[in-house]
Structure 1
Amino acid sequence: MTSQQIRQQFLDFFQSKGHLIVPSAPIVLKDDPTLMFNNSGMAQFKEFFLGNGTPKSKRVADTQKCLRVSGKHNDLEEVGIDTYHHTMFEMLGNWSFGDYFKKEAIHWAWELLTEVYKIDKDILYVTVFEGSKEENVPFDQEAYDIWKSLISEDRILLGNKKDNFWEMGDQGPCGPCSEIHVDIRSAEEKAKQPGRELVNSDHPHVVEIWNNVFMEFNRKADGSLEKLPAQHVDTGMGFERLCMVLQGVQSNYDTDVFGPLIQKIEAVTHKKYTKDNASEDEEKTNIAIRVIADHVRAVAFAIADGQLPSNTAAGYVIRRILRRAIRYGFTFLNTKEAFIYKLVETLAEQMGTAFPEIRKQQKLVENVIREEENSFLRTLDQGLQLLDNVIDETQGEVVSGVKAFELFDTFGFPKDLTGLILKEKGMSYDEEAFDKAMYEQKMRSRAASEVSKDDWQVLVDGNVETFVGYDLLVNEVKITRYRVVDSKKDGRIYQLVLDHTPFYPEGGGQVGDKGILTNGSEVIPIIDTKKENNLILHFTQKLPEDLGATFIAQVDRDLREHTASNHSATHLLHQALRSVLGTHVEQKGSLVSPNYLRFDFSHFAKVTDEELKKVEDFVNEKIQEHLPLVERRNIPFQQAIEEGAMALFGEKYGDSVRAIKFGDSVELCGGIHVQNTAEIWHFKIVSEGAVAAGIRRIEAITSDAVKVYFAAQEKTLAEIKTVLKNPQDSIKAVLSLQDENAKLKKQVEALLKDKAKALKGELASEFQLINGVNFLAKQVDLTAEGAKDLAYELGNIDNNLFVVLATANEDKPLLTVYISKELVAEKSLNAGQVVRELGKYIQGGGGGQPFFATAGGKDVLGIPEALEKAIEFVK
């Protein structure tokens, strides 16, 4: 069977068992503060397990895109080294929310594997939880007895808490699990050692393919367990491993999931993937190809779901994954130009049917990856130069581990590449010092982000929490639950949940509401509002004295109205961009705050001033038309789409959605909006620029912010007029000033050139002959350009010169080093190295070519010492 057939058979099987088939959630989680990425099949169903929401069906099945780069068996640096762990993978899953339990889950798993997929029962092993005295959880006798009716007892193994007790996190739903493992070793290998001895031992051919989790407990903050009110089933089967078993191969990478990608890599790089009996060098090539084939999937799907590579949070993870793939290609496949983006077409052909977003976003994904590749390849070139400098400065054969870490941490230069280059030069780096620096950085980062959460203290039982903020800014509320959260960053914060809250939680780019809770004379400021697992959390720095009282919840009206103005303007901006630039424009991110709006969109060229003016005019015309808000709540998702509403790629929508309409602009949106576009008053773009390849960003303001902007512009213009002595035509006066300035600059340049020529004659007599080299080190009263001219003028005198000139304009020191090309070759002198060393004395640095280089700095008082030290290079 092909992988597509294997996937479809799984879904068809569980549909026949009464399961609703749901689509994969986006791989990127935008509105979940507890997770960056969907790292398991159950992530999109967390609210149901926690009892904070009601699923549309008690039985659900799907295939979920997952991304893991840390945790058990998923350290990024290990992916590709073996043949069965991945960053991005598919998790086939079936779910029961308070419906069936162990018996059905186990029987159906066995039926699918052995009767539908026809896997030989003799290669399967199962595990059940052995129990834990520490947790006061008994041996899972029920699961054991069910398995005993299906498989011989010698194939049922007992697993400890680490392997057979699954937890959603440090707190939350958890329970014993029963895994199914497969042994695909050859008959000869099986004769040497029983498969049961290799289960959960990281053997590449004895692997877990399916895990059935029986959620029975809730893990509390103090570590104790309590029974859940309902029992759930959460299963996950590794799609790539299942394909390996059913296609009769020995590696996930030998399946048709990865085969086409590997063939494309071979064609592009002219390197061969060796499946059997690979030599040491061939295995290095194999690892590089596996890394690239795995990583391009993770990066491509993340970008398609709206996460661009960046230097922070989830974007940094995606950039790190891509850079690892680039460096493996650079080091082991000898790829010095961008090539990974060329694999996206193959990936889209492979997976576009199951996941249409990769096909729809193919061009954008290719452009972003290509730009990232080119950028990092330039960084690698810089890193190579920096590593050369470190080598030059190193006494002996061992480079400082701290220096190697600086290259890695600051410039992204990979440590394995550092090690490889040093090895070629008969050198190495201090790995212990490198690891120590890495560990210390991780500890600093972990300490800064450490968060501890107490258990929820429930004051009102039942799911009574609702949002009323579309209609009300003030409302009577009761606190239904609260918890204490301590973090290094924010200190102690209290999170409150209200029964009928008017506070809008952060989401969809819009910031959360602020405001107050009042009870008589007591006022509790609400400093932020967020959503987690379907609960709206209100952040405060103190608890009310009487938690059971009835409070008045009051949203900050001013902040809300300015936010609404910016959010509605964002919708009009989206419509304007599609009208002016073309319908290829799609929203790729946004921020809606009371102060301004930020809008990221797909477009492959700079937006011209003329186009920006058209966009601005378009939005302001809609504002002047006084378009009323047409809002439709709780309509079926498919109906909204059929009626023309725009849904955004990478967003997760429920079955029922809210559609927002201003004139012809119709979008699915849960945010806060004005009742009429007239409330926006005016729309003004303040900046436009690139975020990534194919992604542009506009920042804009509305309402009172525009009034402040225009007032500031008017004030600036008045000040300019005053400076220009109040001319009748200000523009004409500025142009005249510019023209006069240009003429004066030319005169100054001519004078400086004459001064440099004059100095040339004076300085020619000041050269010292040292070790056969004509040497001069002197401070001169010239500009940087004048010092350069003088250096070259002196160079015309003789081909045996070593010149160091210092200048200090506006207290900014600059060193200029000129060395005759003949000396560079003959005496191995290098102006770039010289200027870097001398630059330390002026608290600066620089570089250049072997015969000419400059260094700027901060300390003019260091110039005399720098000039004094220069002589040592020729001595």
Structure 2
Amino acid sequence: MKSQDIRKQFLQFFESKGHLIVPSAPIVLKEDPTLMFNNSGMAQFKEYFLGNATPKSNRIADTQKCLRVSGKHNDLDDVGFDTYHHTMFEMLGNWSFGDYFKKEAINWAWELLTEVYKIPKENLYVSVFEGNEAENVPFDQEAWDIWKTLIDEDRIILGNKKDNFWEMGAQGPCGPCSEIHVDLRTAEEKAQVSGKSLVNNDHPQVVEIWNNVFMEFNRKADGSLEKLPAKHVDTGMGFERLCMALQGVTSNYDTDVFTPLIAEVAKITGRNYTSNEIKNISEEQNKTNIAIRVVVDHVRAVAFAIADGQLPSNTAAGYVIRRILRRAIRYGFTFLDTKEPFVYKLVAVLANQMGEFFPEIKKQESLVTNVIREEEASFLRTLDQGLQLLENVVKDTKGQEVSGAKVFELYDTFGFPDDLTGLILKEKGMTYNEPHFKEELQKQKNRSKAASETSTDDWTILVEGNAETFVGYDEVEKEVKITRYRKVDSKKDGKLYQIVLDATPFYPEGGGQVGDKGTLFTPNQAIEILDTKKENNLILHFTKELPENPSGKFMALVNTKLRSNSASNHSATHLLHQALRHILGTHVEQKGSLVSPNYLRFDFSHFSKVTEEELQSVENFVNEKIQEQLPLIERRDIPFKQAVEEGAMALFGEKYGDNVRAIKFGESMELCGGIHVKNTADIWHFKIVSEGAVAAGIRRIEAITNQGVKEFFASQEATLKEIKEALKNPQDSVKAVVSLQDENAKLKKQVEALLKEKAKNLKGELASEIQEINGVKFLAKQVDLNAEGAKDLAYELGTLGTNVFLVLATADENKPMLSCYISKELVAEKNLNAGQVVRELGKYIQGGGGGQPFFATAGGKNVAGIKEALEKAIDFVK
């Protein structure tokens, strides 16, 4: 069976059982601060399990794109080395929200596997929860009894809490689970060793394919369990592993999910990949196989993340994506000998293969390809730089072992992989102190963990149910009651409280717009709302303190000044988007935004710098729309399909419900949940303050409106006034500045000429101070010149022979600078290098630098270190 058919059959089967089929949520999560990525099929349904929202159907089935590369679920280091772990994978799932339970879930799973997919029953094993006395959770007798009617008892395995009790996290819904495992070994292997003994023991051909989780408990902050008000079913079946079982192979990578990608890598690199069926392969071939598996797995993860709106970057989720891509590049670089970008060439294969079911990868193919290509080129340059740095480290190392701290510096500062460092050192007959490296790495991880550690109390429920209503589109103040609250302690923000109201005018952070701030009033108390966010369908109001009487009534009041400025900036982003598409072309798509009271930031797809003329045209376009005084046309709760058919723009990577809100200003129409002005005239004016690149093929515009523009113009006016006063209030300020620049240029030339003359005069004075050491004419001296003068002096002194070694120090404007000159003959004969000299001596002035082997400079911050640097210079010739 082809993988596309396997996926379709799963969804058709559960549709026949009354399930609503829903699309996969984006792989990147934007409204759940507890997760960076969708790491399981249930992530997009958390709000239903928590009881914070009502599902559109009590029975749902889907296939969810998942990514497991961070946090509790992290499979990254296993990928490539075995045949069944992946970063990005599909999770087929069927869900019951308070509807059916164990009987139906187990029977349907068995029916699909054995009657539809025709997997032989003798190849299957199942597990049930053995119970846990410490937590007062009994053995799952009900699941055992159901399985007994379907399978021989000797194929039912008891599992402990680690294997057969599934939890969402440290807190939240959880419950026992029943797994299904498949044994794909040969008949001969099965005869020798029972498959039962290999379940959950990391055997590559005895693997779990389906997990049925029975959600019936809630894990509280103190670790105790309480019964949920309703019982749910949460199942997950690994699509790639299912394909392996149904296609008669013993590796996920031998299925048609991966073989087209593997074939393309083999074609590009000229390296062969051997199937898992082939035994006793050479060590060299095994390394090749691992590298190819890493590449084809990782390109899927990176491509789908970019298509869903997450670009590679140096922070948070973006850093994770960059790390995955760089792992693929370095495996190619080291084991497939790819010294040019090549991973991007796989995107076309992936788009053709998966574009029918996941249209986002097809529609974003050009962007994904270009982003990956530019990231590859950039990292390959980093690898080249790292190789040079490593070469210097090797030269400076006495003995055969490089320090772990040096390897960590290469890894942490320059992004040079430690395993590649180890490989290169091994080729040179050297090693590095791996325990010390791991110690430094652990310190860094501890620092990161300490900065982000958070503890959360259980909710204190004051009003049962979740009838919370957002009224912020129409009201900025509202009489409210607190329905629940909890305390949160974090190393970053300290102690905070999260408060949920029965109704709120506060807009929660989302769609790029920051959350509202404001106040909760009582007759005796004013509680400041520091921020507003959304988590699992709850709107959370952050405060430093709790009201004296949380059960009382309050007046919730939004800070309207901040709200008004945010609304102005948000509406301007819509007009900006329209302007960019009109002026640059319809290839432009929004790739991210930030809307705050102070400014707006807008990221968009475009593959060249926006010219000054184009920026001016964009600015003019937006201001024309402001002057047209276009009224806001807002439509709430219209069907998603209808809104798109009417021309509303939907953004890739955003999760939209069946009904949406559309915002229209003239011809600009977008799906948006944010706060907007009532008329474009309220924006007052639009001003672009910067434009630049943030990633390959992604540009960023930062702009201001309304109050920000007023403050900008006031600042510019004040600056101009200061300039005029400094110039003694000339009639023509521009002409006065030009005249000043011309005069400065003439004086600069005169100073340079004087310094050159001074350098020539100093040559005679310093020549007598040169000492001869080991056949080298040596001088280390501080001189009263600028950096350029010191260079001229060094070259003048260099004419005194073919064996000159000079280190000259300057402190012009209190900025220390070291210049090193070495005769070219000495560079060759004595293996001296000026760049190496200034890098070493630069440490004493708290700086660094480099240059050519015969002349190099280093700048620093510590003038007091010049004396010691000059004293140490003699060591190079001694």
- Shorter-normalised TM-score: what interval? over 0.9
- State the match for 1:65 in structure 2: 65
User: What does 1:9-88 align with in structure 2 at a 5 Å threshold?
Assistant: 9-70=9-70, 74-88=74-88
Q: State the distance in 1 between where 2:511 and 2:241 align.
A: 35
Q: Which amino acid aligns with 1:209?
A: I
Q: CA deviation at 1:248?
A: 1.1
Q: State the distance in 2 between where 1:74 and 1:526 align.
A: 36
From 768, 790, 793, the equivalent of 1:790 is 793
User: What does 1:248-259 align with in structure 2 at a 5 Å threshold?
Assistant: 248-259=248-259
Q: Which amino acid aligns with 1:241?
A: R
- State the match for 1:729 in structure 2: 732
Q: State the distance in 1 between where 2:644 and 2:267 align.
A: 41
Q: CA deviation at 1:464?
A: 1.2
Q: TM-score, normalised by structure 2?
A: 0.97
Q: State the distance in 2 between where 1:712 and 1:334 align.
A: 56
Q: State the distance in 2 between where 1:865 and 1:537 align.
A: 58
Distance 1:682 1:71, change over 3 A: closer
Q: State the distance in 2 between where 1:744 and 1:360 align.
A: 60
| 3-state SS in 2 of match to 1:810 | helix
Q: Which amino acid aligns with 1:63?
A: T
Higher mean C-alpha displacement, 668-677 vs 99-108:
99-108
1:485–1:494 Cα contact (<8 Å) kept: yes
Q: State the distance in 2 between where 1:220 and 1:546 align.
A: 24
1:629–1:675 Cα contact (<8 Å) kept: yes
Q: State the distance in 1 between where 2:817 and 2:285 align.
A: 51
Q: State the distance in 2 between where 1:356 and 1:602 align.
A: 18
User: What does 1:722-871 align with in structure 2 at a 5 Å threshold?
Assistant: 722-871=725-874
Q: State the distance in 2 between where 1:628 and 1:15 align.
A: 45
1:74–1:86 Cα contact (<8 Å) kept: no
User: What does 1:464-483 align with in structure 2 at a 5 Å threshold?
Assistant: 464-483=467-486
Q: Which amino acid aligns with 1:435?
A: K
Q: CA deviation at 1:761?
A: 4.7
Q: TM-score, normalised by structure 1?
A: 0.98
2:686–2:703 Cα contact (<8 Å) kept: yes
CA deviations on 1:732-784 (whole Å, 9 max, x unpaired) are 22223333333433343344344434444554444322212222222233322
Distance 1:628 1:330, change over 3 A: same
User: What does 1:545-564 align with in structure 2 at a 5 Å threshold?
Assistant: 545-564=548-567
Higher mean C-alpha displacement, 730-739 vs 185-194:
730-739
Q: CA deviation at 1:636?
A: 0.7
1:48–1:97 Cα contact (<8 Å) kept: yes
Q: CA deviation at 1:374?
A: 2.0
1:73–1:85 Cα contact (<8 Å) kept: no
- State the match for 1:210 in structure 2: 210
Q: Which amino acid aligns with 2:44?
A: Q
2:31–2:536 Cα contact (<8 Å) kept: no
From 352, 377, 381, the equivalent of 2:380 is 377
CA deviations on 1:65-92 (whole Å, 9 max, x unpaired) are 0000146773422211111101110101
Q: State the distance in 2 between where 1:841 and 1:48 align.
A: 61
Q: CA deviation at 1:869?
A: 2.2
| 3-state SS in 1 of match to 2:526 | strand
- State the match for 1:329 in structure 2: 332
Distance 1:790 1:272, change over 3 A: farther
Q: Which amino acid aligns with 1:541?
A: K
CA deviations on 1:3-28 (whole Å, 9 max, x unpaired) are 11111111111112111111110000
Q: State the distance in 1 between where 2:468 and 2:865 align.
A: 67
User: What does 1:293-442 align with in structure 2 at a 5 Å threshold?
Assistant: 293-442=296-445
CA deviations on 1:232-267 (whole Å, 9 max, x unpaired) are 111111011111111111111111111111111112
Residue 582 of structure 1 pairs with residue 585 of structure 2: yes
- State the match for 2:134 in structure 1: 134
Q: CA deviation at 1:690?
A: 0.7
| 3-state SS in 1 of match to 2:310 | coil
1:74–1:85 Cα contact (<8 Å) kept: no
2:609–2:692 Cα contact (<8 Å) kept: yes
Q: Which amino acid aligns with 2:426?
A: K
2:455–2:490 Cα contact (<8 Å) kept: yes
Q: Unpaired segments of 5 or more residues in structure 1? A: none
- State the match for 2:495 in structure 1: 492
Q: State the distance in 1 between where 2:616 and 2:664 align.
A: 24
User: What does 1:400-799 align with in structure 2 at a 5 Å threshold?
Assistant: 400-799=403-802
CA deviations on 1:774-813 (whole Å, 9 max, x unpaired) are 2222223332223223333433443222122222210111
Q: State the distance in 1 between where 2:464 and 2:71 align.
A: 35
| 3-state SS in 1 of match to 2:423 | helix
Percent identity over paired residues: 79
- Over aligned residue pairs, what C-alpha RMSD do you find? 1.5
Q: Unpaired segments of 5 or more residues in structure 2? A: none
Q: Which amino acid aligns with 2:596?
A: S
Number of residues paired by the alignment? 875
Higher mean C-alpha displacement, 775-784 vs 655-664:
775-784
Q: Which amino acid aligns with 1:278?
A: I
1:31–1:508 Cα contact (<8 Å) kept: no
Q: State the distance in 2 between where 1:78 and 1:750 align.
A: 65
Higher mean C-alpha displacement, 742-751 vs 481-490:
742-751
| 3-state SS in 2 of match to 1:62 | strand
CA deviations on 1:523-550 (whole Å, 9 max, x unpaired) are 1111111101000011111111111111
Distance 1:274 1:758, change over 3 A: farther
Q: State the distance in 1 between where 2:246 and 2:422 align.
A: 40
Higher mean C-alpha displacement, 750-759 vs 80-89:
750-759
- State the match for 1:290 in structure 2: 293
Q: Which amino acid aligns with 1:81?
A: F
Higher mean C-alpha displacement, 480-489 vs 770-779:
770-779
Higher mean C-alpha displacement, 266-275 vs 32-41:
266-275
- State the match for 1:190 in structure 2: 190
Q: Which amino acid aligns with 2:560?
A: R
- State the match for 2:115 in structure 1: 115
- State the match for 1:8 in structure 2: 8
CA deviations on 1:826-872 (whole Å, 9 max, x unpaired) are 11111122112221222222222222211111222332332232222
| 3-state SS in 1 of match to 2:80 | coil
CA deviations on 1:11-58 (whole Å, 9 max, x unpaired) are 111112111111110000112111110000110011111111111111
CA deviations on 1:452-485 (whole Å, 9 max, x unpaired) are 1111111111221110111111111011111111
Q: CA deviation at 1:167?
A: 0.8
2:606–2:698 Cα contact (<8 Å) kept: yes
| 3-state SS in 2 of match to 1:134 | helix
Q: State the distance in 1 between where 2:458 and 2:73 align.
A: 29
Q: CA deviation at 1:142?
A: 1.4
Q: State the distance in 2 between where 1:118 and 1:71 align.
A: 37
2:454–2:490 Cα contact (<8 Å) kept: yes
2:75–2:86 Cα contact (<8 Å) kept: no
CA deviations on 1:320-364 (whole Å, 9 max, x unpaired) are 111111121122222222221121111111111111111111111
Q: State the distance in 2 between where 1:492 and 1:213 align.
A: 35
| 3-state SS in 1 of match to 2:653 | coil
Higher mean C-alpha displacement, 441-450 vs 460-469:
441-450
CA deviations on 1:571-625 (whole Å, 9 max, x unpaired) are 1111111111111111111111111111111111111111111111111111111
Q: State the distance in 2 between where 1:837 and 1:58 align.
A: 69
Q: CA deviation at 1:630?
A: 0.6
Q: State the distance in 1 between where 2:52 and 2:203 align.
A: 40
Residue 151 of structure 1 pairs with residue 151 of structure 2: yes
Residue 270 of structure 1 pairs with residue 270 of structure 2: yes
The runs of at least 4 consecutive aligned structure 1 residues that moved more than 6 Å come to none
Distance 1:70 1:619, change over 3 A: closer
